[in-house]
Amino acid sequence: MSHDTERTPVDVAVGVLVERDAAGREGRFLLTSRPEGKVYAGYWEFPGGKLEQGESVHEALARELHEELGITIGDSHAWQELVMDYPHARVRLHFRKVYQWSGAFEMREGQAMAWETLPVASAPVLPGTIPVLQWFAAERGHHGPTHSG
């Protein structure tokens, strides 16, 4: 058995920031690019980061989004989980939807941001982001490609 399948996954909180209209219907969602110097630099993903010792997924997400984007989030809602094997790490992604935040977006790591709908225009998309786009497509009745590439 390879070491890749035996690696303990690193827990990562991922924020799926979604705009809602007056009727509560979900609209655009936020993607950010991975900053220079990180693995997969330039790839687009949902923002977030690793859980620190003793943190809940929500606490880690709130901390990471404040550190990376300069915003303060309200509640976050558990949505999906996914384990991804990347060459550099095995990660357990905890996707949480966020509908309320305050503060101005500041790209504190030099990353870019884009408000997207399906199919996503930003490219390339991080492999761990593709299943999320497929979940959105299923929820929203979207048929056809979810992203380019």
Helix (H) or strand (E) holding 63: helix 57-69
Residue boundaries of the structural domains of the chain: 3-140
Residue 114's pLDDT is 98
Residue 6's pLDDT is 67
Let me know if domain 3-140 sits in CATH 2.60.40.1180: no
* Nearest Cα residue to 103 out of 57, 62, 51, 60: 62
Q: Consecutive 10-residue runs of the chain (149 residues): their mean pLDDT?
A: 66 97 95 94 96 98 98 98 91 97 96 97 95 96 92
